[in-house]
Structure 1
Amino acid sequence: MGFSGKPSKGCAPCRAKRTKCDLAQPFCTQCVRKNRICSGYRDEKDMVFVNETNLVVRKASRRADYQPQPSFSVDRFILDMLNMQQPSRRAALDDEAMMHFFENYNKKFFLAEGRHGERGFDYMLPLYKNDSITGGPVSEIIRASGLAAMGNKGNPSLLIAARAKQVKVLRQLNQQLQNPKTAFSEATLLTAVLLGVFENIIWDSPQSMQIRTSHVQGAVTLAGLVGPAQLTGAVGRGIYLRIRENMLAHCFLTRDPFPDFLLEPEGVEQQDSNPVLWRLFSRLCQVRSDHKIKGSVDTDMAIEAQRIMDELEIWEQSIPEWKPSETTLSALAAKRKEDDPHRYVWLWTLWMLHQTSRIMASELVLNWARAQALLTPSVSTSTAVDNAISAHIKVCEELRKRTDFHLNEFRSMEAGIGTVASYDLLWPLFILASSSTSTKETMIWIIKSAEFIGEEFGIRQAKILVDGIKKYI
């Protein structure tokens, strides 16, 4: 330990930006002027001594390269809470973890009646506010997730603290599930969802995937018991959309059928997330499940996969912003700097799910064509294989091009929204790595992209993906 001299009592954003903090109450002038969160001021007595070991210096140097800016507007409740006079060191760390989570992992959705350009809604905040007062599990799992994300930047002690909070949350969740008054509450549902998010962030053991899957399935089971009809308010709707997206990712990965109750009835109007698209996703999950059970692609599966590909391509025309031209991409990237970046990420996520679905369907058609060429060699079956390969390579190249573009865009985002978006980048990398047409050059690109995601955003799954691919090239 060494004496650090007179430390700065300024707020965290000013210290990070190396700007003079005027210590104004309740928020410093710099933060008010730049419309960012003011974290409050440090207790000088807590900052007199600092650790000056070489290890800490190296870690601090690495962390200094990553200083995301807040991307969301926090209501008066949270701002007042952050600026309580002289918080303890633990309370201050909890507040920092909470802010880190909301800045980097609060994926926003858009209401069905919302217009383009409107901000997504913060469905977590009302439950966070309530549980912060009552000591409920939502506030604790959000802080635990924030600590885990911060710990991924090179601080093992924060990972230990995060896991300790998660254990506490599991006890609280079990108590809520045993109470008829709270078993099917929105807070219980959101806690189950966020436990999966936590495991996704911390990823500290080979069992993390299994644990995350159990939380996803638990949240889906609860949602089924509650019923989508009960999740109609802004908070319930946000939880429903989060559960639906998590379950789709799970079904794509495991080749399981998608639950019918998570499909909305036709007639719900929303241009870029309507029931038609999700029914196509569900049909793809079913045909891939049939393939897993049977072990081969029969003619009926191939016909259904081709239909899904065709319908996905037709549906894409309804979203002008999705056109894969350089002009459109550049225009959309420029527009997100003026509007809400959450809208930009929302569009990318849906397009990415759409495009990877086309690739998975195309892979089934290609498998069938190859099998037919082996069973009945002929000019027609050989031509069918060539056509299937060409179609597959085309959609894969389009996905690679867009993934590369968005990876650079997310890196350039000053807001922390780039972190939550970067998790979605791993799925197309995995799909391309699994593609039967991917070349060694593609695999090297995937490795470099995954390594960049892991280093830039502190995402541990990226390293797992890299280690898995390196075994085979």
Structure 2
Amino acid sequence: MVFRGRPSKACQRCRTRRLKCDYRRDSCTPCLRAAVVCHGYRDPQEIRIEDQTDDARRKVLVKSKHVSLTESSLSVSIDIQARMIFFAHYVSVGSRGWDFLVPWERETEVVPRWLDASIDAVSLALLAHQHVSLPLLSLARQRYALALRVMKQSLSSPPTAGDSLIAASLLLDLFEKITHSEASVIQFWPSHVNGTLALIQKIGVQNFQDHYALRIISRFLTNYVISCVASAHAVSKDVLILCDHLERHLNLKDNPKWKISALTIQYASFLSAVRTGRWSLQESMARAQDLDQALLVLSQNIPPDWQPERRTLRYPLPHVYGQQMDLYLDRLVTQAWNVLRQVRIQLNEYLLDCYDKLSAIHGVNQLAASEVALSNIAALSLEIYASIPQYASYVCRSKRSQGEADGIGLSIVPQKGCDKVHTPSELLDCYTLLFPMYVAARSKAATVDQRQWVSYMFRYISDHFGIRNALLLAQLLDQNTDIDPWCIYAMLGGYGFAA
């Protein structure tokens, strides 16, 4: 440490210009005369001593002939790497559907043991999925078992922090979706979310009031409704109470996505009734037609900023079907639209099956009604195809979407064949397209040309974005395999990757 004498108390401008500063509190006289801002005065005690430790160290090292300066690299543990990737994909950069974890990510709140263990488990599961690593998957399962034990202990004497318990429960459900992609597991999906529902009821919905707590409930409702649709189970009345709670506190009554979710809940009840044989064939058809009409009316009344902007290309491009493409506000709007289209396609396919049954049983000619249903499916499929180029092709990617991607510093997967890399957000953009693409290409109205184009796009997405499941879908499509769409959804990881 070196004493450098008594420093000047003058303001910056007076020191630079060697003016006589009178140290007035608000502004010195020279600054007032010049009509400039006076930036105040330094504290002499803070600048009287200069730290020359680094200078001294450097001089010693230069004199030493046998010491070489080399940069040391710090190895980051696999747990930290996994957490970084998880938070990038789900919290801060990618889907942001789990943004309620932000307080614990930034450590503004103490992370409870059960939540910490759950984050470890799901983070390692995601990393194991990305690298197809059995050792990582084994480690993830060990952390999952630990998280379950800690959760069980916390439930025996519930703490006051109910938010973290629900978040941990949702993370363990996410672990199941990432690690179990077999079609047979769909029947167990409701049991997972019902466990979370029981926990919410035990804590009391009235205790979920702040922003992050309501985001947790929103995440749960999304998972629950999807589970009910995929497994053909009706939505519980207790969940409808949660919906009312969320709608009141977040003012969602006029939100287009919320309206689509409400009709999706009706669709889950419809599937449950069909599965259990509650209605006659004629009543089931009437219910399907009413629900399809309600979805059509909703699509016609969605606000302008949610409406896609249609572009017709002058010249054909390989990633644009029929030279027609739509540009959307963002991925979430695109995803909501495609959910609406998927439900309508499956309702109209159900109606086609009913028309065939009526013709076979009663000999009733349903040709006109069948043509209407086929026309609906064909139009909805074309809209799905038009939503693909914005996210799957950089030639057609909208300025808004590309700008959002370029503004993110984290890149994960390099593009094969060029030096372009993809962010978690860009990967999710494409992943959310896979299921609606498959539903449209496997529909009864799909042409050979459309199936070939979708198969080509699956292969392109697999090669260009490194999404392995896209190649598997291309192979299933080429083999003309008749698999229930929701089995495909489970194979894709369900809402573990794309909700």
TM-score (norm: length of structure 2):
0.62
| 2:345 pairs with 1:368 | no
3-state SS of the aligned residue for 1:180? coil
Alignment-derived partner of residue 237 in structure 2: 260
Cα distance in 1 between the residues matched to 2:137 and 2:215: 28
Give runs of aligned pairs for residues 382-397 of structure 1, distance below 5 A.
382-397=367-382
Deviation at 1:189, TM superposition (A): 0.9
Distance 1:286 1:385, change over 3 A: same
On the 8 A contact 2:121/2:147 being kept in 1, the answer is no
1:59-98 correspondence to structure 2 within 5 Å: 89-90=76-77, 93-98=78-83
Comparing 417-426 with 237-246, greater Cα deviation is found at 417-426
Residue 166 (structure 1) aligned to one of 144, 149, 159: 144
- Contact 1:132/1:139 (8 A) holds in 2: no
Is 1:178 paired with 2:156? yes
Q: Which amino acid aligns with 2:139?
A: A
In the alignment, which residue of structure 2 is the partner of 1:54?
none
What is the SS of the residue equivalent to 1:326? strand
| Corresponding position: 1:283 with 2:275 | no
Q: Deviations over 1:357-407 (max 9, x none)?
A: 22222223222223233334455x221222222122222222233245443
Aligned residues: 370
Q: Is the 8 A contact 1:433 1:446 kept in 2?
A: yes
Contact 1:429–1:446 (8 Å) recurs in 2: yes
**Which residue matches 2:293?**
310
Which residue does the alignment assign to 2:310? 326
Residue 150 of structure 2 aligns with an amino acid whose one-letter code is Q
Contact 2:122 2:175 in 1 (8 A): yes
Shift of 1:356: 1.4
Contact 2:190-2:228 at 8 Å conserved across structures: no
Task: Note closer, same or farther for the CA distance 1:212–1:161 as it changes in structure 2 (3 Å cut).
Answer: farther
Residue deviations 1:187-219 (CA, integer Å, cap 9, x gap): 111111112223333447787767766533422
Contact kept in structure 2, 1:258 and 1:286, CA below 8 Å: yes
Using the alignment, how far apart are the partners of 1:108 and 1:294 within structure 2?
Answer: 44
Q: Give the aligned CA root-mean-square deviation in angstroms.
A: 3.9
Distance 1:227 1:188 in 2: 13
Identity %: 21
Contact 1:107/1:420 (8 A) holds in 2: no
From 81, 98, 102, give the equivalent of 2:87: 102
Shift of the alpha carbon at 1:451? 4.7
Contact 1:321 1:332 in 2 (8 A): no
After superposition, give the CA deviation of every residue in 1:416-450 in whole Å (9 maximum; x if it has no partner).
Answer: 22334444323314433553333454444444444
Q: Deviations over 1:291-335 (max 9, x none)?
A: 1122997222222222222221222222324434424998855xx
Counterparts of residues 206-225 of structure 1 (less than 5 Å): 214-225=191-202
Residues 155-191 of structure 1: per-residue CA shift (max 9 Å, x gap): 6244343333223222222222222336x81111111
Q: Which whole-Å CA distance do the structure 2 matches of 1:384 and 1:144 have between them?
A: 51
1:31 matched residue in structure 2: none
Aligned residue identity for 1:306:
Q
Counterpart check, 1:399 vs 2:384: yes
Instruction: For 1:212 and 1:451, locate their aligned partners in 2 and report how far apart those are by CA, in whole Å.
Output: 30
* Residue ranges of structure 1 left out of the alignment (5+ in a row): 1-42, 48-85, 111-118, 337-343
Change (3 A) 1:401 1:121: same
Q: How high is the TM-score relative to the length of structure 1?
A: 0.65
**Amino acid of the structure 1 residue aligned with 2:384:** L
Deviation, structure 1 residue 464: 5.7
Name the SS for the 2:387 alignment partner.
helix
One-letter code aligned to 2:302: S
Distance 1:358 1:272 in 2: 20
Counterpart selection for 1:196 from 168, 173, 183: 173
CA contact (8 A) 1:251 1:258 kept: yes
Query: Hey, what does 2:222 align to over in structure 1?
Result: 245
